[in-house]
Structure 1
Amino acid sequence: MALYENQNLKIYNSLTGEKELFTPITPGYVGMYVCGPTVYSNVHLGNCRTFISFDLVFRYLKHLGYKVRYVRNITDAGHLENDAETGEDRIAKKARLMEIEPMEVVQKYTVDFHDTLKKFNNLPPSIEPTATGHIIEQIEIIKTLIDKGFAYEANGSVYFDVLKYNQAHHYGILSKRKLEDLIANTRELDGQSDKKNPQDFALWKKAEPQHIMRWPSPWGTGFPGWHLECTAMSTKYLGDTFDIHGGGMDLKFPHHECEIAQGHATTGKAPVHYWMHANMLTLNGKKMAKSTGNNILPTEIFSGNNHVLSKAYAPSVARFFMLQATYGSVLDFSDEALMAAEKGFLKLMDAIALLPKLETKNTSSLDINAWKQSCYDAMNDDFNSPILIAKLFEAVKYINAIANNKASITETDKAALKETLHNFTFDVLGLEATEALNDNSKDRKRLENTIALLIELRNKARLDRDYAMSDKIRDALSDMDIQLKDAREGTTFSL
């Protein structure tokens, strides 16, 4: 029996604004699509948070026993500057500035994207399609939309008719916007005269002579609209209707709203059952932006070569920090927060390493089965990783209590605890032990040597009957969460 048969997973659905019991379209199988990067620059930390969030979802669904097809695309054409309808293609602009081919830009930053996510220990998706590899599918969808009266050609471009669609459906259903408000707030843009209505969006754009990336179509040489690409790739690999669609909160409108309209207009079906959106990451309380200098790249975190952080942090520490907040909440990135996360992360790893060495007894002080279910309950509540982490630290406290002879555990419960800790720490949260421990080994060795010296000074104070100094050293270490344990064999410590 698969684990999912005994667990009630609830997902916050952005479409309905409620947590809903997850029921896949096909029992035992899950289709999930997540909007991938536009590969024109190094992947930024906010993007990484989104992909780590959906890696958590992917990992937990797999842990529950579902067969998951996870599709995450690469946008390598059609995404114009400022997410606009006109202007330069982001990749083509970078190619012009670097004086290289657009596909060289794509290759360079796709490799960077993969390398960075690998450092964060993200699992690769099941399928990673590219927009340029699915031009034919996009053209076929456009033909269908024109035939059904939901799209029209104008001067070599093709637009989606939002007003026509809204007569039978609700354009704005995901973002909770009203079309009349959108019409009132629409800015006048260059090329707007080609559209019937200002809020119509491009399915295919005519390529001007200076536009580098271009393909033939029934409407002339051009390039696909950004919104259409995801509709073509998601439905090709997951079907007209699939289980989960994810992405960053900034994509909810207009990108995901347009995907819903295109999909529904093409097939007559709502394309997605559960819409999930990861929230933004701020840096020192402010929005990340290259223009203001309030920005940091993942590689700069790992190397320590930046003006924001006091030291380098291992990828697993940064991942652990991000998972200490729910995916739907705003998370502030700072040196102090990372330092605290590193401390907690190492405590967790220490406890996991200590567990196999513990002696067992005939009784257990903790109901392992109830604790184990509480870990599942946390993840079943819309992938609530911070609550799961709190539950893992209940186990850390228990392990340390056993080590200090203040609690006990049976051999059977020890095996169950070890397995559960491994499953949730490494398989579900995707943390890596050796990497962070190795990266922090020098600092850790210095700390251990310092504590050893203080223990030696304390032992001398005790021999000299200077109990005030002995207590002062013990209490000062305790205030720093460093616990000393006096035994016949000598004094040991735990962090």
Structure 2
Amino acid sequence: MQLYNEQQLKIYNSLSGEKENFTPINDGHVGMYVCGPTVYSNVHLGNCRTFISFDLVFRYLKHLGYKVRYVRNITDAGHLENDADEGEDRIAKKARLEQIEPMEVVQRYTVDFHNTLNKFNNLPPSIEPTATGHIIEQIEVIKEILEKGFAYEINGSVYFDVQKFNEEHHYGKLSGRNIEDMIHNTRETAGQSDKKNPQDFALWKKAEPQHIMRWPSPWSDGFPGWHLECTAMSTKYLGEQFDIHGGGMDLKFPHHECEIAQNEAAKGHSPVNYWMHANMLTLNGKKMAKSTGNNILPHEIFSGDNDILSKAFSPTVTRFFILQAHYRSILDFSNEALLASEKGFQRLMEALNDLNRITAGANSGDFDVAAWRDSCYNAMNDDFNSPILIARLFDAVKQINLMKEGTLTLSQADLDLLRNTMNDFIFEVLGLVDENKAEETSADKLSGTVELLIRMRAEARANRDFATSDKIRDELAALGIQLKDGKEGTTFQVQ
């Protein structure tokens, strides 16, 4: 259903600093790129907030009927420490410290990233390219920038010439930075590298002899600059100009600023129509940081194995907590906030289960379901305002409680509209999961599987194939499932 023809979505564009009507380049189609993780450690909660925020965007665009190509990369090379042009590659450093191959580091933490987002019920992107899989494309972009005169090669490395670029374009328009101020603030560090100016950034770095991750190029054996990777991968899969580019607020400068510059230098125009940035997550009012211990990982929340929370919280409750704040606002993570979110989530699920048992009657009361439905869309159309949407859902919870008490009745048509809208926004758009139903489904699947094996074992015994019969019994026992043979047949018990 093409709801986008009926809804006017507005997106806050970081480039203009205003909410703008969303008009895709190609009618009915949306191209969206989000900067993915640098896979050198377990994905932290702040990153998860960004990816949950853009999962909400992805889900709502799909709900409206858009055909969305969502590209989210994996940075598996080229991202140096402190987001700088000097120093050690984050992945190579981890590999050196643990005495393993860099690609073992990449594999381990890419798997962790996927597993964590699966627990949060994030939809997978349409395409998930890796930086190392697109070295050729990155070299071609560098050639284009060199040909246009906005880069220079020195001692096997290639740097983007920010001051030359700024003569014809505007470097700093996304972050609101002034290049003259940047020059003034960095003048003292001039002469410490091969760069003409401290503001210049690496497109290609010549690898030092000890640098493990390296590829051949026209300039040297080396590796691409971090900013270049996203430019090459986004335009390869979404075209020279696409609709939405997202990421965390911390990427606005220098990463996204450099992406714009690289695209304008190579192609002559800006690559993206709408820039979106998710804000940061704090913990007990302070910035999250591993170095201070003010930090918590998703698996520590789910298991309860931490010194910050009073108990374990499920992935869907944690997701609900995150979506109770607008993606552009700072969100403070605390035990009290999660406990409140858990109570709210349970109220929402209880009301939804009550709604499924309520029967229709003649309309009574003043609950206008169609107007309420419009208010849900209005919330999401206002720059994906999930906290307002959730408030509208709780407005419906009050009405459901009145119906449960018998003081409000709805016609069958209005009751169906209420149920469908609640289900659409809770599960399809917000991506929440009814944990009780999920547990019931898992229990049903387990029961069905074991009953099948019991029948297979009975057949094996009837055929005097005792080796197979014993194998089924013993292997189930090893998994903690005990079979008990009795006069009424075989039953099982999970240990």
Question: For this structure pair, what is the TM-score category when the shorter chain's length is used for normalisation?
Answer: 0.7 to 0.9
Alignment partner, residue 89 of structure 1: 89
Residue-by-residue CA offset, 1:464-488 (whole Å, 9 max, x unaligned):
xxxxxxxxxxxxxxxxxxxxxxxxx
Partner SS for 1:105: helix
Alpha-carbon spacing, 1:290–1:187, altered in 2? closer, same or farther (3 Å): farther
Alignment partner, residue 399 of structure 1: 400
Alignment partner, residue 100 of structure 2: 100
Alpha-carbon spacing, 1:221–1:436, altered in 2? closer, same or farther (3 Å): farther
Question: What is the alpha-carbon distance in structure 2 between the residues aligned to residue 77 and residue 436 of structure 1?
Answer: 41
Q: Where in structure 2 are the equivalents of 1:276-291 lying within 5 Å? A: 276-291=276-291
Question: What is the alpha-carbon distance in structure 1 between the residues aligned to residue 438 and residue 396 of structure 2?
Answer: 20
Matched-pair contact (CA < 8 Å) for 1:188–1:198: no
Structure 1 portions without partners, runs of 5+: 440-495
Residue-by-residue CA offset, 1:286-340 (whole Å, 9 max, x unaligned):
0000111100000000000000000000100000000000000000000000000
Matched-pair contact (CA < 8 Å) for 2:85–2:201: yes
Residue-by-residue CA offset, 1:27-56 (whole Å, 9 max, x unaligned):
100000000000000000000000000000
Q: Where in structure 2 are the equivalents of 1:86-165 lying within 5 Å? A: 86-165=86-165
Matched-pair contact (CA < 8 Å) for 1:129–1:233: yes
One-letter amino acid of the structure 1 residue matched with residue 279 of structure 2: N
Matched-pair contact (CA < 8 Å) for 1:78–1:225: yes
Alignment partner, residue 310 of structure 1: 310
Structure 1 position 187, deviation (Å) = 6.6
Alpha-carbon spacing, 1:282–1:100, altered in 2? closer, same or farther (3 Å): same
Alignment partner, residue 48 of structure 2: 48
Residue-by-residue CA offset, 1:405-460 (whole Å, 9 max, x unaligned):
12111111111111000000000000000269859xxxxxxxxxxxxxxxxxxxxx
Alpha-carbon spacing, 1:435–1:291, altered in 2? closer, same or farther (3 Å): farther
Instruction: Please report the TM-score for the alignment, with normalisation by the length of structure 2.
Output: 0.87
Structure 1 position 221, deviation (Å) = 0.4
Alignment partner, residue 358 of structure 2: 358
Alignment partner, residue 38 of structure 2: 38
Structure 1 position 364, deviation (Å) = 4.3
Partner SS for 2:26: coil
Alignment partner, residue 368 of structure 1: 369
Structure 1 position 193, deviation (Å) = 3.4
Partner SS for 2:69: strand
Alignment partner, residue 342 of structure 1: 342
Structure 1 position 224, deviation (Å) = 0.3
Alpha-carbon spacing, 1:101–1:40, altered in 2? closer, same or farther (3 Å): same
Question: What is the alpha-carbon distance in structure 1 between the residues aligned to residue 64 and residue 192 of structure 2?
Answer: 49
Question: What is the alpha-carbon distance in structure 1 between the residues aligned to residue 76 and residue 344 of structure 2?
Answer: 39
Alignment partner, residue 19 of structure 1: 19
Bigger drift between 428-437 and 349-358 goes to: 428-437
Matched-pair contact (CA < 8 Å) for 2:92–2:213: yes
Matched-pair contact (CA < 8 Å) for 1:346–1:437: no
Question: What is the alpha-carbon distance in structure 1 between the residues aligned to residue 202 and residue 255 of structure 2?
Answer: 12
Question: What is the alpha-carbon distance in structure 2 between the residues aligned to residue 239 and residue 54 of structure 1?
Answer: 20
Residue-by-residue CA offset, 1:369-424 (whole Å, 9 max, x unaligned):
10001000000000000000000001111001110112111111111111000000
Partner SS for 2:128: coil
Structure 1 position 168, deviation (Å) = 0.7
Question: What is the alpha-carbon distance in structure 1 between the residues aligned to residue 177 and residue 153 of structure 2?
Answer: 26
Structure 1 position 359, deviation (Å) = 2.4
Partner SS for 1:11: strand
Alpha-carbon spacing, 1:227–1:419, altered in 2? closer, same or farther (3 Å): same
Partner SS for 1:158: strand
Alignment partner, residue 475 of structure 2: none
Alignment partner, residue 493 of structure 2: none
Question: What is the alpha-carbon distance in structure 2 between the residues aligned to residue 43 and residue 229 of structure 1?
Answer: 20
Alignment partner, residue 455 of structure 1: none
Aligned residues: 439
Instruction: Please report the TM-score for the alignment, with normalisation by the length of structure 1.
Output: 0.87
Question: What is the alpha-carbon distance in structure 2 between the residues aligned to residue 5 and residue 437 of structure 1?
Answer: 34
